[in-house]
C-alpha cells in the first residue's frame, strides 16, 4: 500500500454524534484533491457510543478509517502521542472531533508543509464563537505570555487544527497536558520553521466543551516544565548549581556583615538579629539546591535517552 500523503489524527471523547458528520465532511473536502489520506480516530476512554460509531465508519470505509480505543480517559496528549507513532502520512494533520475545525483547511495546511517548507503550521482561530469571558480573554493572556516565554510567536498556541511534517511527530513526545505546547516542544527538538494560518472556527453543534478554566492555570505550570526540560534537561546542574551558588553567596554576605559588625562595632546578640536568620536560611537553601543539582545529574547520566540526539541530515 502506498504511503498516505496525509494522516488526519482526531482524538475523540464522548463525540458519538459528531463523528459520522465529520467523516463525510472530510471526504467532501478532499474528494478532488488527488491526495492519498487516512483518518486516525483515538477514542480516549469515552463513556458513550463513540467507539461503536468509529467501528461503523471503519466498516463503511475500511481503507480510510483507522483507530484505537483507550481503556480509560488518559487525556488529549496521550491520544495524540499514540496516534503520532502509529500513523504513516508524509504530513500529519490534527483536528478536534467536535466539528469546530473545518476540513476545508486541510489542503492549504498540507501545501504549507510540502511546498512552503514549514515543519509545523498552527491554525489561528482569529474569529471565535466561544464564550468571550471564559475562553477568549484567558486565551489571549495565555498566548501572549507563552509567546514571550518560549519565543514561539503564535496567536493561538492551543488550536487543535495543526499540520506537521512526519519527522516532527516522530521526534517529539507528548504527555500530561503538553499538547498545548507542541510548537514549543518542536522548537526545542530543533524544528524551528513554525508557521501560522488563519482558519475558520465553527460553533459547537453537539455536546459540550471538555475543558474548563482550570486548564489555563495548569497550562502555565506545564509551560514552566517544558522550558526547564528543553533548556536544562541534559544539564540540570547548570540551573540548580547556579541558583545554589546565588543563594549561598547571599547568605555568606550576611554572615560577613554579622562578623564585621561584631568585631568592628562590638555588636553582640547576633542570634537576635534578623540578618542571622536570613543568612542561615539562604545558606541552607543554597546547599540544598546545589545537592539537588548533583542528584539530578546522577539521574540524567543514568537515563536511557541521555545520548539521544535528533540528526537532521547525514553523509555516509
How does the average pLDDT of the chain come out, rounded?
Answer: 85
Q: Is residue 308 domain-resident?
A: no
Q: Are residues 184 and 99 in the same domain?
A: yes
Q: Are residues 240 and 114 in the same domain?
A: no
Q: Are residues 155 and 64 in the same domain?
A: yes
Q: How many CA atoms lie within 13 A of 110 on its CB side?
A: 22
pLDDT in tens, 82-122: 999 999 999 999 999 988 899 999 999 999 999 999 999 99
Between 59 and 262, residue with greater pLDDT: 59
- Which of the listed residues 232, 257, 278 is the one where a domain comes to its end? 232
Contact 276, 258 (CB under 8 A): yes
pLDDT in tens, 257-302: 888 887 777 766 677 788 889 999 999 999 999 999 888 888 877 7
pLDDT at residue 66 tops 80: yes
Question: In sequence order, what DSSP letters do the residues of the chain get, joined into one string?
Answer: -PPPSEEEEEEESS-TTHHHHHHHHHHHHHTTS---EEEEEEE-S-SSSHHHHHHHHHHHSTTTEEEEE-SS---HHHHHHHHHTT---SEEEE--SSS-B-GGGHHHHHHHHHTT--SEEEEE-SS--S-IIIIIHHHHHHHHHHHHHHS---S-TT-S-EEEEHHHHHH----TTGGGGHHHHHHHTT---EEEEE--BPPP-SS--S--THHHHHHHHHHHHHHHHHHHTT-HHHHHHHHHHHHHHHHHHHHHHHHHHHHHS----GGGSHHHHHHHHHHHHHHHHHHHHHHHHHHHHT-TTTT---------
Confidence of residue 54 (pLDDT cuts 50, 70, 90): very high
> What is the total count of domains within the chain?
2
137 vs 279: CA distance, rounded Å:
43
103 vs 60: CA distance, rounded Å:
20
Contact 240, 290 (CB under 8 A): yes
- Which of the listed residues 199, 232, 265 is the one where a domain comes to its end? 232
Between 221 and 267, residue with greater pLDDT: 221
Confidence of residue 305 (pLDDT cuts 50, 70, 90): low
Q: Are residues 164 and 255 in the same domain?
A: no
Q: Are residues 219 and 143 in the same domain?
A: yes
Confidence of residue 130 (pLDDT cuts 50, 70, 90): low
Q: Is residue 316 domain-resident?
A: no
Q: Given this model, what pLDDT does residue 131 score? A: 57
Q: Are residues 219 and 281 in the same domain?
A: no
Question: How many percent of the chain have pLDDT more than 90?
Answer: 47
Q: Are residues 30 and 164 in the same domain?
A: yes
Q: Is residue 313 domain-resident?
A: no
Those residues with Cβ within 8 angstroms of residue 257's Cβ, 6 or more apart along the chain or in another chain: 275
- Which of the listed residues 232, 255, 270 is the one where a domain comes to its end? 232
Q: How many CA atoms lie within 13 A of 156 on its CB side?
A: 20
Q: Is residue 242 domain-resident?
A: yes
Contact 37, 10 (CB under 8 A): no
Q: Is residue 310 domain-resident?
A: no
Q: Are residues 281 and 193 in the same domain?
A: no
- Residue 157: CB atoms within 10 A of its CB come to 23
Q: Given this model, what pLDDT does residue 113 score? A: 96
pLDDT at residue 132 tops 70: no
Q: Are residues 206 and 153 in the same domain?
A: yes
Q: Is residue 314 domain-resident?
A: no
Q: Are residues 160 and 212 in the same domain?
A: yes
Mean predicted confidence (pLDDT) in 180-192: 89
Q: Are residues 201 and 272 in the same domain?
A: no
> Residue 226's domain spans which residues?
6-232
Please state at what angle helix 214-232 crosses helix 137-150, rounded to 10 degrees.
10
Q: Is residue 311 domain-resident?
A: no
195 vs 143: CA distance, rounded Å:
15
Q: Given this model, what pLDDT does residue 267 score? A: 65
CATH of the domain at 116: 3.90.550.10
Q: Is residue 1 domain-resident?
A: no
Between 117 and 210, residue with greater pLDDT: 117
Q: Are residues 16 and 159 in the same domain?
A: yes
Those residues with Cβ within 8 angstroms of residue 207's Cβ, 6 or more apart along the chain or in another chain: 14, 15, 17, 18, 98
Amino acid at each position: 500500500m502506498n504511503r498516505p500523503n496525509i494522516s488526519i489524527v482526531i482524538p475523540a471523547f464522548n463525540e458519538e454524534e459528531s463523528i459520522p458528520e465529520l467523516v463525510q465532511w472530510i471526504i467532501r473536502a478532499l474528494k478532488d484533491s488527488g491526495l492519498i489520506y487516512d483518518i486516525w480516530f483515538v477514542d480516549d476512554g469515552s463513556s458513550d457510543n463513540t467507539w461503536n460509531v468509529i467501528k461503523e465508519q471503519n466498516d463503511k470505509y475500511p481503507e480510510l478509517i483507522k483507530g484505537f480505543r483507550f481503556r480509560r480517559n488518559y487525556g488529549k496528549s496521550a491520544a495524540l502521542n499514540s496516534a503520532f507513532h502509529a500513523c504513516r502520512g508524509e504530513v500529519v494533520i490534527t483536528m478536534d472531533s467536535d466539528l469546530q475545525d473545518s476540513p476545508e483547511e486541510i489542503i492549504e495546511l498540507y501545501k504549507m508543509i510540502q511546498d512552503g517548507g514549514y515543519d509545523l503550521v498552527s491554525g489561528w482561530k482569529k474569529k471565535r464563537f466561544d464564550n468571550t469571558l471564559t475562553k477568549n480573554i484567558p486565551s489571549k493572556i495565555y498566548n501572549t505570555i507563552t509567546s514571550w516565554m518560549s519565543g514561539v510567536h503564535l496567536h493561538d498556541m492551543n488550536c487543535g487544527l495543526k499540520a506537521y511534517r512526519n519527522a516532527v511527530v516522530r521526534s517529539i513526545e507528548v504527555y500530561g497536558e503538553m499538547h498545548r505546547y507542541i510548537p514549543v516542544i518542536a522548537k526545542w527538538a530543533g524544528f524551528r520553521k513554525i508557521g501560522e494560518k488563519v482558519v475558520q472556527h465553527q460553533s459547537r453543534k453537539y455536546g459540550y466543551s471538555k475543558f474548563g478554566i482550570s486548564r489555563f492555570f495548569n497550562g502555565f505550570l506545564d509551560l514552566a516544565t517544558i522550558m526547564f526540560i528543553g533548556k536544562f534537561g541534559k544539564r540540570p546542574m547548570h540551573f540548580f548549581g547556579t541558583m545554589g551558588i546565588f543563594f549561598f553567596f547571599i547568605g555568606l554576605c550576611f554572615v560577613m556583615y554579622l562578623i564585621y559588625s561584631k568585631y568592628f562595632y562590638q555588636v553582640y546578640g547576633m542570634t537576635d538579629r534578623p540578618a542571622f536568620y536570613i543568612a542561615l536560611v539562604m545558606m541552607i537553601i543554597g546547599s540544598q539546591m546545589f545537592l539537588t543539582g548533583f542528584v539530578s545529574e546522577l539521574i540524567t547520566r543514568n537515563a536511557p535517552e541521555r545520548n539521544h540526539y535528533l540528526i537532521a541530515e547525514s553523509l555516509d
